[in-house]
Structures are given as C-alpha cells and as structure tokens.
Amino acid sequence: MNCEDLLRQYSSYPGVWDEMCDNGQIRNQYQLVSEAVKQVDVATLQQKDRIASELFMSQGITFTVYSDNAGIERIFPFDILPRIITGREWDIVEKGIQQRLKALNMFLKDVYNEQQILKDKVVPANLIASCPNYTREVFGIKVPYDIYVHISGIDLIRGADGIFYVLEDNLRTPSGVSYMLENREVTKRIFPEMLASNKVRMVNNYPLLLHDILMQLAPQQISNPTAVLLTPGIYNSAYYEHTFLARQMGVPLVEGRDLVVDNHKVYMKTTYGLQQVHVIYRRVDDDFLDPLVFKPNSALGVPGLVSAYRKGNVAIVNAMGNGVADDKAVYAFVPAMIKYYLNEEPILPNVPTYELTNLEAKEHVFANIGNMVIKRTNESGGYGMLMGNKASEQEIDDFKQAIEKDPRSFIAQPIIKLSTVPCFINNRFEARHVDLRPYALCGPQGIKIVPGGLTRVALKEGSLVVNSSQGGGSKDTWIVD
C-alpha cells in the first residue's frame, strides 16, 4: 500500500487539536513532509522504522530492564514522523519560558533569603513551610549570579484551543535532552532530504551552550576552570544521557567516589593527584548529594559538598533546593509570581489547578472527579496519579480517603486532552497524544532555548500519559520558519 492512502485514512480525534490536520486539511508546516511521505510506500517506512531502532541499539542509547536477574536492553521507542511547530508559535513558547524562568529564579532567591513574597502573602507561607522539597539546609547560601535554575525542562501541552499550556516545571535534574539530540541525528539518517528541504533550525549546539554556562559559573579568578558531570553511576536509567553530555562537552564524567572535599574545596582523584573542581553539573538528587547534610547513608554523594558550596568554592548546577519551585502545589502560584516579580502578564498560561486544602475546591473536584486528574505533589514520572475518567470506583475512593487525610499532598486539574500527532503504528498513521519539553539554559548572559525540544508521545491508543516509564515514546521536534 502506498502512503498517500495512509494519509487519507488518518483521522484525528474530535475536539482535540491535531498538530498535522486542521479539519481534514494538512496544515502549512506539514505540507512538505506530507508530500514527501506520499512518495514512499509502507515497506519503505517499515524499513526506516527498523533502521531507526537499530541505530539507537548500536549506539547504546538504551535503558536496562531487570527481570530474572538478566538485564534486557530496551530502546526508548522512537516514532519516525517528526512533530512540526512553526517559528511563530515557537517565538511565543520561547518568550513564555524565558519569562517563567526569570520569575522562578527570583522566587528561589527570595524564598531562600528575604522571603518577601511570603511576607506579602502572594504565596502562602504555610504552603512553603509544608513543602517537603523546601531545603532549609541551603537557606541563605549565595549562588553565582543569583541563578538557581540553570537547566530546566518545562513541560508544555497544547489544548483543544491550540494554545500551549505549562503542565509542569522541572527545575531539578530534568532528563531527556540527549534524546532530543539523538532523535535529530536519527532523522538525518532516515529522512535526510525531507529534513534538508524543510530548513529545520539546528539543535546540536546545545552541549556547547551548556558548557559555556558551566564555565561562566566558575569562581571568577580561575582562568581555566574544571567542570565535571556528576552521575549516580551506570545503573541510573539516564546514564546514557550522562555519558553523552560529558562526551559532547568534553568534561570528565565522575561519580561521588571520584570526588573528595578538603578544606571546603572539592577535588577529583586523578592519576596526577588531586585536581580541584570548580563546577559540578550534578545529575544526583539533592537528598543524595552530601551524606553529612542529607541522607546519611547515601553513597552517591560527596561528604562535605554542601560546605564547599556554602563557601562559594564550587558551583552546583542546578542549585540545591530547587524542588520547592517545581512542587505541584507551588506551581499554581507561578502566574502570581510572574506578576509579583516582573509586573507582567504570563505569556504561557497554567493549566487550572485546584488546591485541595481549599474546602470549596475540594468539593468541586470530588463532584466532578470524572473529569479530573489528581496528582501527588511530590511525585513525578507519571506515578501517583489518578485519571478520573479511567479509574475504578475503588481507586477513586482510595484517593478520596488519602486526600481527606493529607490534602496538601495532592492537587487536581481538569483533564486536558493533549494535542495529537500522526504516528507510524501498526503500519498505519494513527493519532497519539503528545506533550513538548523544551530545554532552556539559563546563564549570566540570559536564557537560551535551543529551538525544538523533546516531544513525548503516549503510544497507547487514547492514553494521555507520555512518561517513558508508562509506555511513552518520543519524536524528533522541528521548528520551521
């Protein structure tokens, strides 16, 4: 069968924004791609699909699933058809994320120093006091250039109205950027001409931008600073990404046991002796960073790291304690932060969010639970979530009870139908829901976002959960002018 028929058979869901089709018409930005796809037959697409999988496998872009004591290497599913966003839409996304990050950085500075925003009652003090991710241990620590969030992956979704909403702020150790970069490299292999003819904006300078920022964060008197990437080790599910970024930046990849703190300075143990480290891009969570301050039994961190950080002898990227700003209950206050700190209207809207500590809100949510998604405030990865339209009576009752017991740990949002894109599944083009995670880099010279990001796809039909741990895959994301 040829793909022209497949395109004709493609149907999107009613009442949902489709990235390719607008009432059966192919949108402008997808014209060249659809023309190119029409030229090939299904067997060719199958072949491309297979080649893409082989490329991920042979490069070792895999995660390991452990069962029966045997590690099985799996790839993160990749759908060969790109997701395309126009330059004009992207400009809004870019400005919106820059604005949001500016405000979030100011919030983090504030909340770990003067706490003016709490005194002015813009954000309720008890919300912060009850936040498990508020890290008292870093209160008052001065960070270089007042930047807390250097690397972020803010999740966006597109609603039925075609508007991008912010779903979640990931300000701690967001992952996936290597997939954004590798997806493009794979597309270069399987659709070289289609890519070239669309004049897609380049993403592969991301590691260079990141490296620049790491260098700029070093204490200023150092002419040749040493930056390292701190990984939890080979068993971490994002380990491939850690090696990838270290290689692309040309910085050493270290584990906690490679580092040592002496007299409030951090060193790495090399064959030439101890070498001082000035900047650490850490992919280890706060709780595990320093056993003297946080979890005492953590073997992933470095004893004394926080003291070196406090003295300003080492920059840590992202800063410690950022969890307070991407807490799902604090999320609801980000638009207020933008007004408070910047005196601007938010460019990218939030998804409406109900705080369950508020009685009225709680009643409203319970009454409409079929249209709601309930999330635990301190969990991520698509865990600890209840989709009201899919859940059983029993599950709903369990959640209700848990909410009554501890309303601070939950929020509710109306279920938003994420936009869909065509995916090549079962030898057909089928509509699947997607989100978008652009990666923003924040340094002394401003906030840079490489044009694109990671489009995550919920590969199960009708599913709205895009997380890789829950059957999600990804797509190359194109910004075209």
What are the C-alpha distances in Å from 401 to residues 23, 329, 396, 419? 43, 19, 9, 32
- Which residue type is seen at 80? I
Q: Which stretch binds other proteins (CB under 8 A): 244-252, 296-304, 336-344, 379-387?
A: 244-252
User: Is 87 an interacting residue with respect to other proteins (CB under 8 A)?
Assistant: no
Strand duo 354-355 + 428-433: pairing: unpaired
What is the nearest approach in angstroms of other proteins to the Cβ of residue 210? 12
From the centroid of its chain, how far is CA 41? 35
For residue 105, how many C-alpha atoms fall within 13 Å in the half-sphere facing its CB? 26
Based on the shown chain and the rule CB under 8 A, indicate whether residue 219 belongs to the binding site for other proteins: no
Residue 188 in the binding site for other proteins (CB under 8 A):
yes
The DSSP code for 418 is: -
* Distance of closest approach, residue 147 Cβ to other proteins, in angstroms: 20
Is 275 near other proteins (CB under 8 A)? no
Answer whether 318's CB lies under 8 Å from 172's CB: yes
Which residues pair with residue 207 across a beta bridge? Answer: none
Shortest distance, CB of residue 312 to other proteins, whole angstroms?
A: 21
Min CB(459)–other proteins separation in Å: 24
Are 122 and 148 within 8 A, CB to CB? no
Q: Would you count residue 72 as binding other proteins (CB under 8 A)?
A: no
Both structure tokens of 21: 């089709």
Q: Which of the stretches 185-193, 303-311, 321-329, 428-436 binds other proteins when contact is defined by CB under 8 A?
A: 185-193
Give the single-character DSSP code of 333.
Answer: G
Least distance in Å: CB of 198 to other proteins? 9
Q: How many CB atoms lie within 10 A of CB 187?
A: 23
445 makes contact with other proteins (CB under 8 A):
no
The residue count for binding other proteins (CB under 8 A) is 30
The reply on whether position 195 binds other proteins by CB under 8 A is yes
Which one, of 305, 275, 208, lies nearest residue 247 by Cα? Answer: 208
Task: Tell me if 133 sits within 8 A of 148, measured CB to CB.
Answer: no
- Residue 248 binds other proteins (CB under 8 A): yes
Among 50, 189, 339, 460, binds other proteins (CB under 8 A): 189
Q: Does 28 bind other proteins (CB under 8 A)?
A: no
Applying CB under 8 A, does 269 fall inside the site for other proteins?
Answer: no
CB of 252 to other proteins, least distance (A): 9
191 binds other proteins (CB under 8 A): yes
3-state secondary structure of 64: strand
Contact status: 204 vs other proteins (CB under 8 A): yes
- Closer CB to other proteins, residue 244 or residue 267? 244
Residue 250 lies near other proteins (rule: CB under 8 A): yes
Contacts of 19 (CB under 8 A, 6+ apart): 27, 30, 83, 84, 85, 158, 419, 420, 421, 434
- Residue numbers at the binding site for other proteins (CB under 8 A): 48, 51, 184-185, 188-193, 195-196, 199-205, 208, 211-212, 215, 223-225, 247-250
